[in-house]
Amino acid sequence: MGKKIRHFINLPAIGADTLKGILKHAHALKAEKYNPPQLLEGLSLAMVFDKRSTRTRISFEVAMKQLGGHTVVMGMGEMQIAGSETIEDTSKVLSRFVDAVMLRMSSHENMEELARWATIPVINGMTDQSHPCQIMADLLTIEEKLGGVEGKKIAWFGDYNNVCTTFEQAAPLFGFDLVISTPPDLQPAKLGAHATYIEDAKAAAKDADVIVTDTWVSMGQEGKAIEKFMPYQVNPELMAQAKDGAIFMHCMPIHQNEEVTKDVLNTPASVIYDEAENRLHAQKAILAWCLADAGVRVKKKG
């Protein structure tokens, strides 16, 4: 039996201890950002996208290169998988060319199928169900800004989407409390451990350590009506409910004056650019973990 391949697709499958170890490594790699250890020298990452991306694409590309590796970037529409080639063949062939693959793929099921055939690590660069790399960067940011995540109250506003559900998965793993405040028709039928639903946005924001939101219209949902989300807009009035020193987070891209008002973005509470930068540091630690036990040689520092 070969070693288990370290896919980074679903946070619960990876486990709390491993995820905490990856975050710890991310802090260390950030501290060494101007002298990055060449952990991934000679290794290659394929990056495949079926949707737009700025942060995910650039942070993975720069992370690989800073750690000594290489990248190949493709739009899924340019690949034979957009014709008649199967997921199985795509996965088996990618596995012969590169050492890991990161995909932004709408269908979570298709990503899991690709991982089943892969002999290299598969990294979830966002599906319609989850965005685990984003949440790792967000937790890194909360640890930096607030000194830790355990016991913190994170309040989510707006759409119940892929980023929110990944916070929900992370809550019991990292021991924070997640409050979800969305229009009532989006109230989750079943909530994860450490998560609660509060319809009233102001009540949900009360004494929160972190106020977080995301677009009301995720990619692929263009044309959706947004009026019902207005009571869940993050504005100064909502921020005033949170704890003193609370931070505002958003995975970006932002739709100003929809899910968040411009005046909130211009306050010191907003940590959105640190959060975006932390995608790079989190990505490095995720790559180092995925590749450390996948039949390729990840260099040890020094």
Report if residue 213 touches ligand NVA, rule: CB under 6 A. no
Report if residue 161 touches ligand NVA, rule: CB under 6 A. yes
CA distance linking residue 75 with residue 88, whole number of Å: 18
Q: Please identify which of the residues 6, 7, 55, 104 carries the catalytic annotation.
A: 104
Among 76, 146, 191, 252, binds ligand CP (CB under 6 A): 252
CB distance 40 to 69 below 8 Å: yes
List, as one string, the DSSP characters of 108-130: HHHHHHHHHH-SS-EEES--SS-
Q: Which does 118 bind (CB under 5 to 8 A by kind): ligand CP, ligand NVA, none?
A: none
Q: Is 134 a catalytic residue?
A: yes
Q: What binding mask, one character per residue, do residues 227-266 give for ligand NVA by CB under 6 A, x or -? A: ------------------------x---------------
- 3 state DSSP class of 173: helix
- Spatial neighbors of 94 by CB under 8 A, at least 6 apart, are 46, 101, 118, 120
What pairing do the DSSP bridges indicate for beta strands 177-181 and 153-157?
parallel
Among 5, 18, 20, 53, binds ligand CP (CB under 6 A): 53
Q: How many C-beta atoms lie closer than 10 Å to residue 226's C-beta?
A: 14
Q: Please identify which of the residues 7, 25, 50, 134 carries the catalytic annotation.
A: 134
> With respect to ligand CP, which residue has the nearer C-beta, 54 or 80?
54
Q: Is 138 a catalytic residue?
A: no
| Binding span for ligand CP by CB under 6 A among 48-56, 89-97, 223-231, 239-247 | 48-56
- Spatial neighbors of 47 by CB under 8 A, at least 6 apart, are 57, 60, 61, 71, 72, 73, 74, 101, 102, 103, 125
CA distance linking residue 273 with residue 262, whole number of Å: 14
Q: Which does 161 bind (CB under 5 to 8 A by kind): ligand NVA, ligand CP, none?
A: ligand NVA
Residues with active-site annotation: 104, 131, 134, 214, 251, 279
Instruction: Give residues in contact with ligand NVA (CB under 6 A).
Output: 161-163, 214-215, 218-219, 251
Residues at the contact surface with ligand CP, assessed by CB under 6 A? 53-56, 126, 134, 251-252
